[in-house]
Structure 1
């Protein structure tokens, strides 16, 4: 084999190995970074005197068939989530303008979301009051640092550079609609 043929074979092998390495890296990057795991959470919803709360969809027997309590615990919320959302559930990127209609990114426009979010219906009742006024709610979570991989302008018009740690709060991705 001539010197030129050996150099050509070596170049081809190098290109093939480079393409394989880049393909493997890209595949590994996409398969490792496109999923999110929900860590254990705590939830406690406490009603004021004379008010009861229930979680869940209204059954065929009517709203009175729900399990009415004065305090919803983490275990009750977890039981509802496990009952309603199968083990194959996956979060998707969704947004809402009205709190009830969810949309996701389509090819060139927003399209109606077909799942990909948790919807937890809460019901309130009182045997002593003729109406219940919901005047405040708070969502909290521990703040964590996240390092973004590209420079971008955040919703508050602050520019974050690549590899800059950003303080994030998981409750910012939660919405409550009445």
Structure 2
């Protein structure tokens, strides 16, 4: 929360993007490790035979050189910020402090993908956040953090039950920065691609809450907001409107692993660009902005998560929409 959380500084930010082919099912995932103090940056991005990645849409790599990310992310000082649409970020709940700055207050990267495969929709898949531990990961999408033990200096309500969810002065509890993380994907039209005739209404724009818990989501009156209101003279009101947030990721039909059951976490569509591989297969290209931030309106955005450590892994899957 603004005025509660000041900075979450990154010591090592490790971002790995890779893709593999299992049969003709394409997967990709991103792994990010976030520590307190900015000391160094290690970024590795690689792709498999059917999926290539680029930062500029011109030069594509099967393995993206890590130094290409160094300048973009070197100045990050993750602040508690807020966004209603995953695109416009404010440095405080009210917005009075002005716009948040990308790659200083929050992480923001533009990624291009291309493939010559048959599956041209890209989905974020397999949220296993509840199954992993900080030092033991697994395949899939997850956001996990070490957790910080905090002794409360106020009595406040930390859940929907005003009797059972009371935290008293002196109570010790563990709080997790991972519970306050939000991730947005903003698909972009590619104007230089004459075959990409989509307009803004055709493009995907989603916010994902990796915790998958809407009861502890944006603008609830308990949790961090209840605590914050113990510290101010004039109570902070809950927002009237709340953003649309994806809590459950897309799954695929068991009998047809290439077809998505829904479009919940579709992040982009790859569009033909008229270029061809050496084997005369057509390339399909997509462009997306990835934003990762600490949501200041989240129920778990306490002071205590300031010095927590976060790991993020995002797994993507190329597939087809369900046309039935």
Q: How does 1:27-42 map to 2 (within 5 A)?
A: 34-42=6-14
Distance, in Å, in 2 between the alignment partners of 1:51 and 1:171 is 31
Does the CA contact (< 8 Å) of 1:94 and 1:102 recur in 2?
Answer: yes
Distance, in Å, in 2 between the alignment partners of 1:169 and 1:35 is 12
3-state SS of 2:107 partner? coil
Deviation for aligned residue 1:125: 1.2
Change in CA separation of 1:102 and 1:174 when aligned onto 2, cut-off 3 Å: same
Deviation for aligned residue 1:52: 1.9
Structure 2 counterpart of 1:160: 167
Change in CA separation of 1:82 and 1:42 when aligned onto 2, cut-off 3 Å: closer
Does the CA contact (< 8 Å) of 2:147 and 2:175 recur in 1?
Answer: yes
Does the CA contact (< 8 Å) of 2:53 and 2:113 recur in 1?
Answer: yes
3-state SS of 2:20 partner? coil
Q: How does 1:6-155 map to 2 (within 5 A)?
A: 34-49=6-21, 50-54=50-54, 56=55, 58=56, 63-65=57-59, 67-69=60-62, 76=66, 79-87=67-75, 89-105=76-92, 109-111=94-96, 112-115=98-101, 116-129=105-118, 131-136=120-125, 138-147=141-150, 148-154=152-158
Deviations 1:103-134 (A, max 9, x none): 2226xx22552311111222221023362331
Higher relative CO (Cα under 8 Å, sequence separation at least 6) belongs to 2
Deviations 1:56-113 (A, max 9, x none): 3x3xxxx123x432x66xx72xx444312454x433221122211112226xx22552
Task: Looking at secondary structure, tell me which structure has more strand per residue.
Answer: 2
Gaps of 5+ in 2: 22-49, 127-140, 186-266, 268-324
Aligned residues: 132
Does the CA contact (< 8 Å) of 1:94 and 1:113 recur in 2?
Answer: no
Gaps of 5+ in 1: 1-32
Deviation for aligned residue 1:172: 3.7
3-state SS of 1:95 partner? strand
TM-score normalized with structure 2 length: 0.34
Task: Looking at secondary structure, tell me which structure has more helix per residue.
Answer: 1
Distance, in Å, in 2 between the alignment partners of 1:35 and 1:104 is 11
User: What is the RMSD computed on CA atoms of the aligned residues?
Assistant: 3.4
Distance, in Å, in 2 between the alignment partners of 1:43 and 1:121 is 13
Structure 2 counterpart of 1:12: none
TM-score normalized with structure 1 length: 0.55
Does the CA contact (< 8 Å) of 1:51 and 1:126 recur in 2?
Answer: yes
